[in-house]
Amino acid sequence: MKIIGLTGTNCAGKGEAAEFLKKKGFAYFSLSDLIRDKLQKQDMELTRNNLIRYGNLMRKEGGPDILARLVMRKVKGPAIIDSIRNPKEVEYLQKQKDFILLAIDAPIETRYIRAKKRGRDESASSLQEFKDKEAEEMTSKEKNQQLQNCIKMADHIIINAGSLADFHSKLEKLL
């Protein structure tokens, strides 16, 4: 069994990497989907602010690796685990057989343009707000998001600043 964890900055291409890997036979799981499920059960909006806030609350109440522990209950074969944002999640997943962590990044201006095209509520109406929101995900608080620390823990980092074909080529080489 092979498990590929995905971490990285917002709108860097993690979703595109997941789509590419799903076509290669990997099942898809997202830590953010676990949070979305909880938000929906409480009739809360699926905004980036709510995802960050509620994910941090779940980590505070259940431990910083709670989302990784919950998702591993669902993994039965080759899998992609998306939206890894806390080093304790990485540490828990690194204990799983054949786990590798892949970080996806891109220049912030490129990611902001992608966010605007995506049309989801990114809680940022300007590049500065986008940067400020990202700073919330780069904390060093144990039970919060620590994206930069997760990226540093990655086995491989892919910079997704070119074409889709270029990105797919980088992923293919990794496999």
CATH of the domain at 20: 3.40.50.300
pLDDT > 80? residue 132 = yes
pLDDT > 90? residue 109 = yes
Percentage of the chain surpassing pLDDT 70?
A: 96
pLDDT > 90? residue 119 = no
Query: Rounded to an integer, what distance in angstroms lies between the CA atom of residue 75 and that of residue 65?
Result: 16
Average pLDDT score over residue span 142-165: 90
- Number of domains composing the chain: 1
The model's pLDDT over 12-33, given as tens digits with 9 standing for 90+, comes to: 999 999 999 999 999 999 999 9
Percent helix, strand, coil in the chain, to 5, is 50, 15, 35
Percentage of the chain surpassing pLDDT 90?
A: 72
The residue among 95, 123, 101, 110 whose CA lies nearest residue 31 is: 101
* pLDDT of amino acid 129: 86
Query: Rounded to an integer, what distance in angstroms lies between the CA atom of residue 141 and that of residue 37?
Result: 24
> Can you list the alpha helix ranges (DSSP code H) found in 73-157?
87-94, 108-118, 127-136, 147-152
* pLDDT of amino acid 140: 72
The model's pLDDT over 46-68, given as tens digits with 9 standing for 90+, comes to: 888 899 889 989 999 999 999 99
* Cα-based torsion angle of the residue sequence 146, 147, 151, 154 in order, rounded to the nearest 10 degrees: 70
Q: Range of 96's domain?
A: 3-174
pTM of the model: 0.88
144: pLDDT confidence band, cut at 50, 70 and 90?
Answer: low
